Structures are given as structure tokens and as C-alpha cells.
């Protein structure tokens, strides 16, 4: 056997020997895999930014020993303020690959990956004797669980149930069930305010909205962003012709002529492009100065996050229908959330 083989194998054996004497349990991840993990999990590697965000909110940052190398890009430049210890965590891999030697050296008890991580990536980690848990934050039908852009027969159910299942599962794995439950309850409380106040707006009077990303990419059907708009009382103009996350033409955006345009906080340059580029000036949202940079807590990703549902949808609804939410102080609500789940104040602009 080669020296290289033993260099990789010996650290694996060091992981497996202590694990063999530990009590274990079996869980089912969100792509339907049965995974055996230790009863107590204190060392995890996180190769998915949504799961990383949820672990931080569950006050489980101390259990993280390794993170995806591009976590700052994925979560935004300001995220390090919310969880400064992430700067000291080992950085390795991303959504679709990982260095096995760096991974083994961290002695993780569980590795979290995205649901569409390549099968060979999952197999290579599992071959090291390290449990791999795939998280989708969706409740998918068979055949759709491992896809980035799935076909969803019921988007509302898929994301609402899937988020709850994902949070509960992550909390169960890292022994934080109470924190997971609190996140779900806070999410529900915020959504109820929005639904109660918008329930009487008929479909034909709902505002047409568009989510602008770099290089004319946007979210269509099958992504949480469209549901976020729907919950906030808007119609996603891209939903009828775009599935998933894709690029569109400028001609298509002009034809849609959205009344409101939203831009995620991590893409402020897109706001400048929209407001100053001549090709955007014929669109109603631009003419009426209704192009909004979303606050960091809105997190209008393809996957839902608790604060996006609990306070982000409320922010969006207030921008769309300000007259119905005049009494809502978004700064206070955001600060309350951040104090509770990030253990720090919120310092953004609303």
C-alpha cells in the first residue's frame, strides 16, 4: 500500500475508533437517505449556506468545525458580524465538492451538504466513514428530491412543510430541538400578520413584481422567491415562463413591465444598473421609483429562511402595500429577531 493511502486512512481510523464505542441513532435526510449518526453531535462540517445560517440561529455555531470556502459570498459580506467565530473555522469545499484530506483532518461527526450535491461527493465522504446529511428545505416528491430546480406540484406545501422538516431535522441532529421549535414558531407569527392583512386583496389587483439578479437572472416557478412575493401580496411576473433560477432577456423584462422590482441586499450593483441604464427606464417600476434593495434579513434566496418568512415577507408586504402596514416598525421587528436568534442587534437599512 502507498504512503499516500495510509496518510488518508489513518485519520479515518482515528475517527471511527471513538465512534464505534458511542451510542448511535438513525435519521432520514431530506433526499430520503437513512444515515446513522452519534447520539450526541458536537463536530459538524457545513457545505451548504442555508444550513450554516440555520445552525447559527439555533446557537450551534460552537459545534461547527468547518465551513464552505465561499460562505461569505453566499451569505453576504456582513454575515461575519452575526457569527464572528466563523472567521476562525476551517474553510473547505463548496456546494458540489470537498477535499477529503482536509475534511478528515477536522474529525467531523456529521457533514451537511445540499440536496443536489453530486452523488460521487456524497459517496466519497461516506467512504471515509463520515455520516453525510443532505438538506433541501423542501418536501419533494420521489424523483425530485436531489434536483436544484425541481418540478413542484404544490409549491406552497413543498416549501412550507420542507422548511419545517429541515429545521427540525437539523435541530435534532445537533441536539438543539428547542431552538429549532422556536425558529418555526417565530416564522409562523410573522406570516400570520401578513396573511391577515392581505387576505381581501383580489388576484387581479395584486402588484406585479420582479426579482432582479446579476446578468439578468431571476427566480421563476419552483423557487421560494415566487412564494415570498405571493405571501407578500404580489405576483411574480417570471413565474409563468421561467422555471427555477435562470437568465432572461431584457426584452422579456420590458414585456413583463413589473410595477415593483426587488433586488437582494447582496447585489447592490444591480440597483445602480437598473436606475442608470437607459434600457430599464421604460419599465413602470423604474419610472415610479419602486425599485427596492431588500434588507439582509429578507434573504430572497431560492430556498426559504426563517427570517425571510418571519420578517422578510412582512417587509416586502409593507413596500408593496404601505397603507396596510403603517403601524409596523420594521426596524424594531428586525432587531427583536436578531437579538433573539443572532444574539446581536440588527444594523441594516430598511
Q: What is the CATH number of the domain that holds 25?
A: 3.40.50.1980
Q: Are 10 and 149 in the same domain?
A: yes
Report strand pairing: 217-219 vs 245-247.
antiparallel
C-alpha cell at 192: 400570520
The whole domain housing 233 covers 200-342
Q: Are 204 and 90 in the same domain?
A: no
Q: Are 209 and 287 in the same domain?
A: yes
Please say if the pLDDT value at position 216 is more than 70. yes
The per-residue b/e assignment along 206-219, b for 16 or more CB within 10 angstroms, e otherwise, is: bbbbbbbbeeeebb
Number of domains in the chain: 2
Tens digits of per-residue pLDDT, 163-186? Answer: 999 999 999 999 999 999 999 999
C-alpha cell at 202: 383580489
> Among residues 175, 209, 241, which one ends one of the domains?
175
For the segment 210-215, the average pLDDT, to the nearest whole number, is: 96
The separation between the first and the last C-alpha atoms of the chain, rounded to the nearest angstrom, is 61
Q: Are 159 and 241 in the same domain?
A: no
Tens digits of per-residue pLDDT, 111-135? Answer: 999 999 999 999 999 999 999 999 9
- Quote the pLDDT of residue 349: 72
- Quote the pLDDT of residue 15: 53
Confirm whether 54 is domain-assigned: yes
Confirm whether 284 is domain-assigned: yes
Rounded to two decimals, the pTM is 0.85
- Quote the pLDDT of residue 13: 53
Confirm whether 180 is domain-assigned: no
Tens digits of per-residue pLDDT, 238-253? Answer: 999 998 899 999 999 9
Binned at pLDDT 50, 70 and 90, residue 148 comes out as confident
- Quote the pLDDT of residue 6: 47
Sheet holding 291-293, edge to edge: 234-236, 207-212, 260-263, 291-293
Express as a percent the part of the chain with pLDDT over 70.
Answer: 93
- Strand, helix or coil at 298? helix
What CA–CA distance (Å, rounded) separates 225 from 267?
A: 15
Confirm whether 74 is domain-assigned: yes
C-alpha cell at 35: 444515515
Binned at pLDDT 50, 70 and 90, residue 12 comes out as low
Tens digits of per-residue pLDDT, 69-105? Answer: 999 988 877 889 999 999 999 999 999 999 999 999 9
> Among residues 125, 159, 175, which one ends one of the domains?
175
Confirm whether 190 is domain-assigned: no
Cβ(324)–Cβ(232) under 8 Å? no
Which H helix or E strand runs over 252?
A: helix 250-256
- Quote the pLDDT of residue 77: 74
> Among residues 119, 142, 175, which one ends one of the domains?
175
User: Other C-beta atoms within 10 Å of 338: how many?
Assistant: 21
Q: Are 138 and 267 in the same domain?
A: no
Q: Are 170 and 261 in the same domain?
A: no
Amino acid at each position: 500500500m502507498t504512503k499516500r493511502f495510509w496518510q488518508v486512512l489513518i485519520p479515518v481510523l482515528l475517527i471511527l475508533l471513538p465512534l464505534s464505542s458511542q451510542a448511535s441513532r438513525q435519521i432520514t435526510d431530506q433526499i430520503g437517505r437513512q444515515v446513522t449518526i452519534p447520539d450526541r453531535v458536537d463536530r459538524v462540517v457545513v457545505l451548504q449556506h442555508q444550513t450554516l445560517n440555520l445552525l447559527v440561529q439555533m446557537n450551534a455555531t460552537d459545534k461547527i468545525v468547518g465551513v464552505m470556502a465561499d460562505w461569505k459570498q453566499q451569505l453576504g459580506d456582513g454575515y461575519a458580524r452575526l457569527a464572528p467565530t466563523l472567521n476562525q473555522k476551517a474553510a473547505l469545499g463548496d456546494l458540489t465538492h470537498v477535499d477529503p484530506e482536509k475534511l478528515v483532518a477536522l474529525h467531523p461527526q456529521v457533514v451537511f451538504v445540499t440536496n443536489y450535491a453530486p452523488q460521487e461527493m456524497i459517496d466519497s465522504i461516506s467512504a471515509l466513514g463520515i455520516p453525510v446529511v443532505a438538506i433541501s428545505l423542501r418536501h419533494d416528491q420521489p424523483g425530485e428530491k436531489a434536483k436544484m430546480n425541481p418540478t413542484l406540484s404544490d409549491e406552497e406545501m413543498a416549501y412550507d412543510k420542507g422548511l419545517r422538516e429541515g429545521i427540525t431535522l437539523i435541530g435534532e441532529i445537533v441536539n438543539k430541538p428547542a431552538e429549532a421549535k422556536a425558529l418555526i414558531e417565530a416564522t409562523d407569527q410573522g406570516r400570520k400578520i401578513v396573511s391577515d392583512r392581505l387576505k381581501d386583496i383580489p388576484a387581479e389587483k395584486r402588484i406585479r413584481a420582479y426579482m432582479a439578479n446579476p446578468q439578468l437572472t431571476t427566480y421563476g416557478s419552483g423557487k421560494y422567491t415566487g412564494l415570498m412575493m405571493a405571501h407578500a401580496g404580489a405576483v411574480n411576473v417570471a413565474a409563468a415562463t421561467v422555471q427555477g433560477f435562470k437568465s432572461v432577456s431584457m426584452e422579456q423584462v420590458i414585456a413583463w413591465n413589473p410595477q415593483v422590482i426587488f433586488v437582494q441586499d447582496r447585489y447592490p450593483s444591480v440597483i445602480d444598473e437598473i436606475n442608470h441604464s437607459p434600457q430599464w427606464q421604460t419599465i413602470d417600476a423604474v419610472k415610479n421609483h419602486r425599485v427596492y434593495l431588500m434588507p439582509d434579513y429578507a434573504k430572497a434566496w431560492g430556498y426559504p429562511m426563517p427570517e425571510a418568512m418571519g420578517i422578510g415577507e412582512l417587509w416586502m408586504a409593507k413596500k408593496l402595500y404601505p397603507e396596510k402596514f403603517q403601524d409596523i416598525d420594521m426596524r424594531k421587528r428586525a432587531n427583536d429577531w436578531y437579538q433573539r436568534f443572532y444574539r446581536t442587534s440588527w444594523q441594516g437599512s430598511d
